[in-house]
Structure 1
Amino acid sequence: MRAAKIAYKPVGLALGAVSGMLAGALFRQAWKGLGHEEDAPDATDEDRTWGEVLLAATLQGAIFAAVKAAVDRGGAAATRRMTGTWPG
Structure 2
Amino acid sequence: MSVVSKTFYKPLSLATSVLGGVAAGAVFGQIWKRISDDPDTPDPKDLRRSNGEVLAAAALQGLVFGLVRAAVDRAGAKGYRAVTHEDPS
Query: Hey, what does 1:78 align to over in structure 2?
Result: 79
Give 1:76's aligned amino acid: A
Q: Percent identity?
A: 47
What does 1:8-27 align with in structure 2 at a 5 Å threshold? 8-27=9-28
Shift of 1:59: 0.2
Q: TM-score, normalised by structure 2?
A: 0.93
Specify the SS of the correspondent of 1:68. Answer: helix
| Unmatched tracts of structure 1, length 5 or more | none
Give 1:18's aligned amino acid: L
What does 1:9-88 align with in structure 2 at a 5 Å threshold? 9-88=10-89
Moved over 4 A (4+): none
Alpha-carbon distance in 1 for matches of 2:12, 2:36: 37
Shift of 1:42: 1.3
Query: Hey, what does 2:2 align to over in structure 1?
Result: 2
Q: TM-score, normalised by structure 1?
A: 0.94
Give 1:30's aligned amino acid: I
Specify the SS of the correspondent of 1:78. Answer: helix
Specify the SS of the correspondent of 2:61. Answer: helix
Shift of 1:37: 2.9
